């Protein structure tokens, strides 16, 4: 909190740094569109070509995001507290994706396959689980039990 550790002169970034960042962002955008039209080979197992393509697209997006955060938003030249705050925010965001692990363990039930036909996916309230006595009126009810 003490001002003693910080510079009294605010860092003014030259316009050419910002312009170079803009050009880099444009090039990366062109690259991500280019990759879309190429079907990259899979690496075996769950790493199918689709996963590889998507991973490449996301890595490019993350590089673009880092350029915007570091240069345009000036986090690179900000105080340690600001850096900690920003990092904590994005770490919390990525932690949220661990919820997907939970969905993986109960795929049959959630998210509720409400768009499918009622008879195939849902046991209406009041019916025992797995009951076939479902009115075929296409009304979807949440599975119970």
Partner 1 sequence: MAAITHTSDHSHDDHHGPLHHQFESIEQQNESYIVGMWTFLVTEVMFFGALFLTYTLYRAMYQHDFFVAHEHLSIPMGAFNTIVLLISSFTMVLAVHFAQLKRARAVIANLWLTIALAGVFLVVKYFEYTSKFADNLYPGPSFTANKAVFEHNGHVPEIDLNHAQIFYGLYFGMTGLHAVHIIVGILVLAALARMWMKGNRLVTEDFVPTELVGLYWHFVDLVWIFLFPLMYLMPKPH
Kindly state the tokens that stand for 87. 């990092």
Q: Please enumerate in sequence order all residues whose Cβ is within 8 A of that of 82, keeping only pairs 6 or more positions apart, or say none.
A: 75
Contact flag: residue 20 with partner 1 (CB under 8 A)? no
The CA–CA distances, whole Å, from 16 to 20, 21, 23, 75 equal 6, 8, 10, 18
Phi-psi region of 6 (alpha: psi -120 to 50; beta: other; left: phi over 0): beta
CA distance 63 to 66: 5
Candidate ranges 18-26, 121-129, 130-138; the one touching partner 1 (CB under 8 A): 18-26
In the range 27-86, which residues lie near partner 1 by CB under 8 A? Answer: 29, 32-33, 35-36, 39, 42, 48-50, 53-54, 57-58, 60-61, 64-65, 68-69, 71-74, 78-79, 81-82, 85-86
Residues near partner 1 (CB under 8 A) are 1, 3, 6, 8-10, 12-13, 15, 18-19, 21-22, 25-26, 29, 32-33, 35-36, 39, 42, 48-50, 53-54, 57-58, 60-61, 64-65, 68-69, 71-74, 78-79, 81-82, 85-86, 88-90, 92-93, 96-97, 99-100, 103, 111, 115-116
């Amino acid at each position: 909190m003490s001002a003693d550790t910080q510079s009294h002169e605010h860092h003014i970034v030259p316009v050419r740094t910002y312009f170079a960042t803009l050009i880099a962002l444009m090039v990366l955008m062109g690259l991500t569109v280019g990759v879309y039209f190429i079907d990259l080979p899979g690496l075996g197992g769950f790493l199918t070509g689709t996963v590889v393509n998507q991973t490449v697209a996301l890595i490019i997006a993350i590089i673009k995001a880092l350029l915007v955060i570091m240069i345009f938003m000036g986090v690179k030249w900000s105080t340690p507290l600001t850096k900690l705050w920003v990092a904590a925010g994005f770490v919390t965001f990525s932690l949220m994706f661990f919820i997907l692990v939970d969905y993986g363990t109960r795929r049959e039930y959630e998210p509720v396959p409400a768009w499918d036909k009622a008879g195939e996916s849902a046991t209406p309230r009041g019916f025992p689980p797995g009951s076939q006595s479902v009115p075929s009126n296409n009304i979807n009810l949440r599975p119970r039990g």
